[in-house]
Structure 1
Amino acid sequence: MIDVTRSGSPRAPLGRRVFLAGSGAAVLAAVGARPASAALPAVDMEEVLLAAHWDPVKSGTGITAGAGPSVTLVEQALVARGFLDGQYVDGHFGTVTRTAYASWQRSLGYTGLGATGLPGKASLTSLGAQRFSVSRPVTPGSRTTFQGFPFNSRTVAMLAEARVLAGKAFVVEQGSYSPGVDPTSSGTHDGGGTADLDAEALTAQQRTAAVTALRRVGFAAWLRSPSQGSWPWHIHAVATNDTDLSLAAQKQVGAYYEGRNGLANNAADDGPQVTKVTWEQYLRNRA
């Protein structure tokens, strides 16, 4: 199968040699390939993921700081493969780009959580074949359980670190990968990266300390009160940059970065103010 670039030039498939008359440079130009010694540009997966969470909830087409060059490379690759119109190559990973990326994932055979438009390592690497390399890859890790609830290993590691920072054990009320378990969750727990923690027995100070700790390690976390919905006091936490997040949870991460509360009323964030980081950023800063 011949892949066509934006300019219409045919690109040689991976693993095949193309023999054409003319100079080596002309041949490379004709097939759209790079010289073997030329390094591919790098797409920073951490930055692309953050943009994919944040950009769709923005009121405009603002570019997430640092993510523009990587997102642009992804968009150009989607255009070349026929999944995105060229007018949307702007470095903003908005709803159109997310929809295009979801179509790319489905073309690879992914379904469900693997085809929400949030780039995973495998689909991003495949998209970048002969176009870009992938730096700082992010994976959710293996499926596991914590306190009897389903999680992935990345989320469990984050909870364990936040527990140390908070100085008090967390009691899990709801885990991840739990579609339909609690209708009041509105689908946020359908995928990975999410947890609800008991806060009824905590003092006001302990509640603030817990939410602060969760945010410090990379969770979008909020204290939920009975006045906000049909639920008891609890802490709702969503792991930023988790590639297994449901669409509803992805939107909550974007709302967190926009300074909102992650609820349907989209009110201002009333939680403790900390520097927003992902788990990977936290680990680098801690080192």
Structure 2
Amino acid sequence: MIDKTSAGSERAALGRRVFLAGSGAAVLAAVSARPASAALPAVDMEKVLLAAQWDPVKTGTGITAGAGPSVTLVEQALVARGFLASQYVDGHFGSVTRTAYASWQRSLGYSGLGATGLPGKASLTSLGAQRFSVSRPVTPGARTTFQGFPFNTRTVAMLAEARLLAGKAFVVEQGSYSPDVDPTSAGTHDGGGTVDLDAEALTTQQRTAAVTALRRVGFAAWLRNPSQDDWPWHIHAVATNDTDLSLPAQKQIGAYYEGRNGLSGNGPDDGPQVTKITWEQYLRNQA
């Protein structure tokens, strides 16, 4: 396959050499008249991330609103690099595309949370080299601690904003990046973006206010009760579009957008209904 960008550069260099050799105004006019290279199409990383979490849990091959063109560019790039069959280029970031993207990540040397098939900024930028640019990039920020628990700075900022909206301080029971800490968590806390908050001392109204606030800033959040499993009253929340999410946490985001409760029984969402948005969308809405 001919690299059109490289070929264009070679022709431009040839034109400059001819001009400098003294061929005159005619050559200068010809070089000047040549159209500039077209700008690369842009992949909206926010949309791609949402599709990568939501599409695999859908019962069909529906396309996440606004994500189709960007996902298609990603799939075409995966095909060009030999990681995806062309029949799967459809704008739906399903399980096959996720598996292909994970293979791409591993080919770059990533492993663990860096190779779950959820695109990160670095792997997406590398995939798009000479094919597409990346707009609205998302990063989880640096690792940090909050109330003594491990988190990333994006999640801590989301918790701080939700606390202001709820009007009551949160008490963390379990943080992120905590593999094997609690078997009832089913791996959702293995990566970033996930938190459990104490709800035992809260009133019914306070519990609802807290879950509502968490959802408003971009968390998939649910109130958990002892009848569901061997756990106390608590609020479980997962930050949408956190690129460090474990695979089980990614599936919970998809379940949330599908109107489910994120548990193994896949029951209906029993939480307060709010407009589902990401943290980055929330920040833009406040500007």
In the alignment of these two chains, the number of paired residues is 267
Gaps of 5+ in 1: 1-8, 24-34
For each residue in 1:69-127, what CA deviation from the matched residue of structure 2 results, as whole angstroms up to 9, or x when unmatched?
00000000000000000000000000000000000000000000000000000000000
Calculate the TM-score normalised by the size of structure 2: 0.90
Residue 223 of structure 1 aligns with which residue?
Answer: 223
> Is contact 1:12-1:18 (8 Å) kept?
no
Residue 3 of structure 2 aligns with which residue?
Answer: 11
Residue 164 of structure 1 aligns with which residue?
Answer: 164
Partner AA of 1:90 in structure 2: D
Partner AA of 1:128 in structure 2: G
For each residue in 1:8-33, what CA deviation from the matched residue of structure 2 results, as whole angstroms up to 9, or x when unmatched?
x243798x96579x99xxxxxxxxxx
Rounded to whole Å, the distance in 2 between the matches of 1:119 and 1:19 is: 35
Calculate the TM-score normalised by the size of structure 1: 0.90
Residue 210 of structure 1 aligns with which residue?
Answer: 210
The Cα of 1:52 is off from its aligned counterpart by: 0.2
Partner AA of 2:251 in structure 1: K
Gaps of 5+ in 2: 16-34
Residue 150 of structure 2 aligns with which residue?
Answer: 150
Matches within 5 A, 1:98-117: 98-117=98-117
Residue 135 of structure 1 aligns with which residue?
Answer: 135
Q: Secondary structure at the match of 1:253?
A: helix
Rounded to whole Å, the distance in 2 between the matches of 1:78 and 1:120 is: 15
For each residue in 1:221-261, what CA deviation from the matched residue of structure 2 results, as whole angstroms up to 9, or x when unmatched?
00000000010000000000000000000000000000000
For each residue in 1:115-142, what CA deviation from the matched residue of structure 2 results, as whole angstroms up to 9, or x when unmatched?
0000000000000000000000000000
Partner AA of 1:79 in structure 2: V
Q: Secondary structure at the match of 1:109?
A: coil
Larger Rg: 2
> Is contact 2:144-2:150 (8 Å) kept?
yes
The Cα of 1:188 is off from its aligned counterpart by: 0.1
Q: Secondary structure at the match of 2:145?
A: strand
Rounded to whole Å, the distance in 1 between the matches of 2:125 and 2:133 is: 7
Q: Secondary structure at the match of 1:232?
A: coil
> Is contact 2:5-2:130 (8 Å) kept?
no
The Cα RMSD (Å) is: 1.9
Residue 75 of structure 1 aligns with which residue?
Answer: 75
Matched, 1:92 2:92: yes
